[in-house]
Structure 1
Amino acid sequence: MKAAWRAWKHRDDEADEQQTTEGGLKALEVAAVTFANGGETVGVYVPVFATAGAGGMSVYVIVFLALVAVWCLAGRYFATRPLIAKALSRWGHILLPLVLTALGLLILVNGGAFGL
């Protein structure tokens, strides 16, 4: 949310836009976000993979790879549409954190996390 607010607040700054497009994200920042987001994934999938046999593991791998291919094809399809690509390039850095935050809250609410 903080990054979305900062991006919205400085949306007209040319220097800030030039820095993001030229410099990109630093490898350490990407690694930190990946590490922070991976903790719950490891906690969920290790028990699942430990109890699935070789056949179950094969099914998981095949389904995972097939769905990654679907996501990649869908992403390519939408990114190559001029209207959608223009909207994503302009608003994506604001919309993505908002959508992910809303999705996380929806999962927490539907999972009963606030009723403990």
Structure 2
Amino acid sequence: MEVAAVTFANGGDDIGVHVPVFSTAGIRGMSVYAAVFLVLVAAGCLAGKYFATRPVSAKALARWGHVLLPLVLIPIGLLILIEGSAFGL
């Protein structure tokens, strides 16, 4: 239940991004977006299952995951902002 609540609460910013993208993409573009999304979700699930079922990586992620996740997500977010010219650079 907690995961669903966080996912729902986190969705507001997604609406602001996806509505303009999908309204201009057309059927063909939306089909490509949907296919890529589904493939990447499946790849993420398979990677998560793989690493979670390996004792060494599962133990390391349980111990250091709360540190590693921000170290991965913050640079990705900054890259997206910079590449999208969000800072007016």
TM-score normalised by the chain length of structure 2: 0.70
CA deviations over 1:30-57 (Å, ceiling 9, x no partner)? 635752x433322222112112223332
Matched, 1:84 2:52: no
Partner in structure 2 of residue 56 of structure 1: 29
Which runs of 5 or more structure 1 residues have no equivalent in the other structure?
1-25
Matched, 1:46 2:19: yes
What is the identity, as a one-letter code, of the residue corresponding to 2:11?
G
Sequence identity, in percent? 65
Written as runs of structure 1 = structure 2, the 5 A alignment for 1:12-31 is: 27=2, 31=5
What is the identity, as a one-letter code, of the residue corresponding to 2:24?
T
Partner in structure 1 of residue 46 of structure 2: 73
What is the identity, as a one-letter code, of the residue corresponding to 1:86?
K
**Alpha-carbon distance change, 99 to 63 in structure 1, aligned in 2, over 3 angstroms:** closer
Aligned length: 89
- Which one scores higher on RCO, CA 8 angstroms, separation ≥ 6? 1
Which runs of 5 or more structure 2 residues have no equivalent in the other structure?
none
